[in-house]
Amino acid sequence: MPNTTPTTAHDVIWFVPNLIGYTRVIMALAAFALMCIDGSTYWLLAVLLYIGSFVGDLFDGMAARKLDQCSVMGGLLDMVTDRCATLGFLHVLSGDYATVDQQLQFPYYRLLFLFLMILDISSHWCQMYSSSLVKDGAHHKSDEGNEGRHFLVRWFYKYYWFFGYLCVGAEFTYICLYVVRHAPPESIIYKAALGGLYSCIPGCAAKQMVNLMQLTSACHIVAQHDAKERNQRRGTKET
């Protein structure tokens, strides 16, 4: 027999995938707190907490589909957690690499991390807004929501292997950069992180290219929407 009990807002808040999402938030915040309080002492625990928060993104989606608990609330929580976690980590890296910038006598790393922050948040916000605006609430990852976008954006959200490599490559590039600054140079973890950079940086670079295409494609889609509405108001034909 189907369950006919009405679902309440309280029920949605306590959905299992959302509970996983709250745990991800707590783990990320704890990681950043340790990084800022004493990264030289708690760097390994902070990295493990951050990786746990990142991996949790896989399980909340699996739980949502298996338990039939997909929700807009869950999608919002997931997006905000992902974006804020990346921004927080880049902010930490900006501080950790400040001494390198001082040695180079120019804020190379600070500017790099700042531009990555701006590109990440702006591209994803525009992607979500344009998908919802033009396709009447379409999900920003759906084929419908990405119709007419740059092919890299369509590939990113359509092919899971491509999406996975770019996301993992980007996040683990940042993780490896953090470990290299804090792990003892003679340790296995330091050497693994240094080697990991070579395999992760291409994915991170490709992710930034997708972000850039995502931003420009989203803006173009919104501009097309504006032009269409303007032509309708003025009674002119589209060219």
Q: Convert the chain into a string of H (helix), E (strand) and C (coil).
A: CCCCCCCCHHHHHCCHHHHHHHHHHHHHHHHHHHHHHHHHHHHHHHHHHHHHHHHHHHHHHHHHHHCCCCCHHHHHHHHHHHHHHHHHHHHHHHHHCHHHHHHHCCCHHHHHHHHHHHHHHHHHHHHHHHHHHHCCCCCCCCCCCCCCCCHHHHHHHHCHHHHHHHHHHHHHHHHHHHHHHHCCCCCHHHHHHHHHHHHHHHHHHHHHHHHHHHHHHHHHHHHHHHHHHHHHHHCCCCC
> In this structure, are residues 101 and 112 in contact, taking their beta carbons and an 8 Å threshold?
no
Q: Which two tokens stand for residue 121?
A: 């948040």
User: pTM score, two decimals?
Assistant: 0.90
Q: pLDDT averaged over consecutive 10-residue blocks of the chain (239 residues)? A: 77 94 97 94 96 93 90 90 96 95 94 97 92 71 75 90 94 97 95 94 96 94 90 81
Residue burial 169-203, b: 16+ Cβ < 10 Å; e: rest: bbbbbbbbbbbbbbbeeeeeebeebeebbeebbeb
Q: Give the pLDDT confidence score for residue 239 in this predicted structure.
A: 62
User: Which one, of 168, 161, 150, 129, lies nearest residue 214 by Cα?
Assistant: 150
Domain locations in the chain as residue ranges: 1-96, 105-239
Q: Which two tokens stand for residue 103?
A: 């040695």
